[in-house]
């Protein structure tokens, strides 16, 4: 009665991915039944109970479990009334939460398990407006390659146009539309499972039957699709070669352009021409990604079906030691530069005693020409391979050499030049796994031939998947250069206050601004966006997986599906590279803040290829997000560094300084002590 009438204050408990937030009311009175009379009366509360919590954390989690069950069973978030009696939870009433605004849009599931690798943290409006069009164009092209007719693609154009969402500045997959897209081609169940493995999606989302292809039509079309897939697989090597030749040609042409000398209109024209290469000529990477997903999933299934090993991750071990993945080259090249500096008289002192600006200026003036040439060669090859490399707002090594110089200084200070990448671990894992396969399939000629064929295809496509991601980095790097030049030009013309303000505008808004000075109030919009995205930087991060009705991302309309559990001292993920390590952890949210890992275990939410130069400083790697085909998994296997990915509750459970034992084979993590 006291709460309903508003006369008394209540405790408030908010459960989120960050844990349980408690707002404990100052309680002065309570209502009780009148002595020997009908009705209730207000009474003073005992002093020692005024700031006592009404519910324990265990009781809150019990309520959360009930809510999750109800939401799943009834299909809508519920407003419940409950009571505890003798520590037992009783549900008194449940009803759908009112004012949810379900009429605002379709039930939509959002997930950033995998895409957070490419777009960590807050992403600007320019980057999102660019990538959402990229995704739309390439996946329209993709389903077309698998046999979907243009009329059908156009009929579902809204699906392709909305495969992503920008949720409080962070990029998420719109899983509803991804599953719908898969349902357009035959073999939905198998494709969905393989996609989930590739994207690191932890829980299946069941698409309504009324959207999935009718079984009769699916059977009819699957033969046509199989024929197309066989043809695509056969042509893929030549398609990759043609793609590389074309991209190299375009990149050579664009690298020769001095963008600072072009007008704003000409820069837009250059961008639009380059965009066609990214949108229309991306056939080979698309096909390779699809087959990497299919072959990897098939390999995983065969290891189980043929009972190859008791090791659940043997399919990972079989992929170790490829020695052809370009993502590890930046490590080798950076180590080589650091080694060369140590060999040149006075060079190490120059690099360790000066700041990055002084080093860059010294190299420009002719100091240490051999070292400068090594650095310039690195920038030419990997200048865009940096932290957040697919975000256009990122300042790359090509744009600011001081960032790369600081990295070299870190290698020198930590003597990483002396650390060898343990290729023996990689080779041993692969050889041992291969021996288990031979033993399990001994005397089974047909099964062995099939298994080895699938293994060969998986190795090829997984390696090429990682290598083709580098080509995407090159392409995005060129887009970054064009828009950065355009920002400077618009600032010179007085259309924006600062060159980097361009990243607060959407692509279409920029084009409009270039065309007209009068119809666009850029200054006011940029100011509003800066405040909005700064708030996103400082706000609580949305859950890894949640649902909404439509695209309203305010607090009232985001419903998390993440289970807030007390994991105790045991965590479980997916083992990606074997090795048992006992060490303290270092939680890293932004690698640019980091000076040294010094053999600590790297613990983070996700990584992208820009993190790879930090890997040699870690004794092991544990990542909250990701999948068996994510960047962390592939590169750690290649380098022989123990690694676990997809660990629920990782960042809630561990803090810098905690000591753990991690097992890269089983994916088990045991917390030994907390400081």
Phi, psi of 15 (to 5 degrees): -105, 125
CA 609, CA 389: separation in Å to the nearest integer?
A: 8
Please count the other Cβ atoms lying within 10 Å of the Cβ belonging to residue 503: 23
Entry pTM: 0.76
Determine the pLDDT at residue 651.
85
Token pair of 649 as six digits: 């509750």
74: CB partners within 8 A, 6+ apart: 94, 96
The answer to whether 586 touches 658, Cβ cutoff 8 Å, is: no
Report helix, strand or coil for 211: coil
State how far Cα 479 lies from the chain centre: 21
Q: In this structure, what DSSP letter does residue 518 have?
A: S
Determine the pLDDT at residue 396.
94
The answer to whether 502 touches 510, Cβ cutoff 8 Å, is: yes
Measured CA to CA in angstroms, residue 634 lies from 483, 572, 641 at distances of 32, 19, 11
Regions of the chain with pLDDT less than 50: 101-103, 675
The answer to whether 66 touches 82, Cβ cutoff 8 Å, is: yes
Report helix, strand or coil for 166: strand
Determine the pLDDT at residue 203.
62
β-pair partners for 197: none
Q: Which of 414, 422, 431 is nearest to 641 (CA)?
A: 422
Report helix, strand or coil for 623: strand
CA angle 468, 471, 474 (to 5 degrees): 160
**Burial classification of residue 68, based on how many CB atoms lie within 10 Å of its CB (0-12 exposed, 13-18 middle, 19 or more buried):** middle
Determine the pLDDT at residue 224.
66
Determine the pLDDT at residue 70.
86
DSSP for 94-108, please give it: EEEPTT--GGGS-EE
Q: Which residue has the tokens 């299909």?
A: 75
Query: Angle between the 507-515 and 522-538 helix axes, to the nearest 10 degrees?
Result: 160
CA 489, CA 481: separation in Å to the nearest integer?
A: 12
CA 423, CA 431: separation in Å to the nearest integer?
A: 12
Q: Which helix (H) or strand (E) holds 503?
A: none
């Amino acid at each position: 009665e006291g709460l309903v009438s508003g006369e008394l204050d209540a405790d408030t408990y908010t459960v989120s991915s960050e844990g349980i937030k408690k707002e404990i009311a100052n309680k002065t009175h309570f209502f009780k039944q009148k002595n020997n009379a009908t009705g209730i009366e207000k009474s003073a509360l005992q002093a020692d109970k005024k700031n006592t919590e009404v519910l324990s954390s265990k009781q809150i989690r019990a309520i959360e479990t009930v809510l999750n069950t109800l939401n799943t069973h009834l299909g809508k978030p519920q407003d419940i009334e409950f009571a505890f009696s003798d520590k037992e939870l009783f549900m008194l009433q449940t009803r759908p939460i009112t004012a949810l605004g379900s009429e605002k849009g379709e039930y939509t599931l959002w997930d950033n398990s995998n895409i957070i690798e490419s777009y960590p943290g807050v992403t600007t409006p320019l980057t999102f407006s660019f990538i959402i069009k990229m995704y739309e164009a390439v996946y329209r092209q993709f389903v077309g390659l698998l046999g979907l007719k243009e009329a059908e693609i156009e009929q579902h154009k809204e699906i392709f146009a909305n495969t992503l969402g920008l949720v409080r500045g962070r990029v998420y997959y719109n899983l509803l539309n991804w599953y719908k897209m898969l349902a357009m081609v035959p073999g939905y169940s198998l494709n969905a499972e393989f996609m989930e493995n590739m994207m690191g999606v932890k829980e299946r989302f069941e698409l309504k039957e009324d959207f999935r292809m009718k079984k009769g039509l699916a059977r009819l079309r699957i033969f046509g699709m199989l024929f197309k897939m066989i043809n695509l697989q056969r042509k893929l090597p030549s398609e990759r070669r043609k793609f590389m030749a074309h991209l190299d040609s375009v990149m050579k042409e664009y690298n020769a352009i001095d963008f600072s000398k072009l007008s704003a209109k000409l820069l837009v024209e250059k961008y639009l021409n380059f965009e066609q290469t990214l949108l229309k000529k991306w056939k080979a990477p698309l096909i390779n990604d699809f087959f990497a997903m299919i072959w990897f999933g098939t390999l995983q299934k065969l290891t189980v079906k043929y009972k190859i090993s008791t090791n659940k991750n043997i399919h990972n071990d079989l992929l170790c030691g490829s020695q052809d993945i370009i993502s590890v080259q930046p490590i080798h090249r950076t180590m080589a530069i650091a080694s060369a500096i140590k060999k040149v008289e006075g060079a190490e002192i120059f690099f360790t005693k000066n700041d990055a600006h002084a080093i860059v200026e010294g190299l420009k003036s002719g100091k240490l020409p051999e070292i400068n040439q090594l650095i310039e060669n690195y920038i030419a090859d990997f200048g865009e391979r940096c932290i957040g490399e697919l975000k256009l707002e990122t300042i790359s090594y090509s744009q600011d050499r001081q960032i790369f110089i600081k990295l070299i200084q870190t290698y020198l200070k930590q003597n990483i030049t002396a650390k060898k990448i343990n290729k023996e671990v990689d080779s041993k894992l692969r050889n041992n796994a291969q021996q288990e396969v031979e033993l399990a399939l001994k005397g089974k000629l047909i099964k062995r031939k099939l298994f080895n064929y699938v293994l060969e295809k998986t190795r090829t496509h997984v390696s090429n998947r990682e290598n083709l991601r580098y080509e995407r980095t090159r392409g995005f790097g060129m887009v970054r250069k064009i828009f950065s030049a355009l920002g400077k030009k618009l600032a010179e013309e007085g259309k924006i206050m600062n060159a980097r303000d361009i990243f607060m505008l959407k692509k279409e808004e920029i084009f409009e601004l270039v065309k007209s000075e009068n119809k666009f109030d850029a200054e006011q919009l940029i100011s509003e966006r800066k405040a909005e995205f700064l708030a996103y930087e400082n706000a609580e991060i949305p859950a890894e997986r949640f649902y909404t009705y439509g695209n309203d991302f305010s607090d009232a309309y985001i419903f998390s599906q993440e289970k807030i559990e007390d994991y105790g001292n045991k965590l479980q993920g997916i083992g990606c590279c074997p090795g048992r390590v006992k060490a303290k952890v270092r939680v890293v949210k932004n690698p640019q803040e980091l000076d040294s890992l010094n053999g600590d275990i790297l613990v983070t939410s996700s990584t992208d290829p820009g993190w790879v130069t930090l890997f040699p400083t870690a004794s092991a790697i544990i990542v909250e997000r990701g999948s068996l085909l994510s960047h962390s998994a592939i590169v750690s296997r290649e380098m022989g560094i123990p690694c676990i990915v997809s660990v629920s509750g990782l960042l809630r459970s561990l803090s810098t300084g905690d000591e753990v034992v991690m097992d890269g084979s089983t994916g088990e993590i045991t917390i030994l002590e907390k400081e």
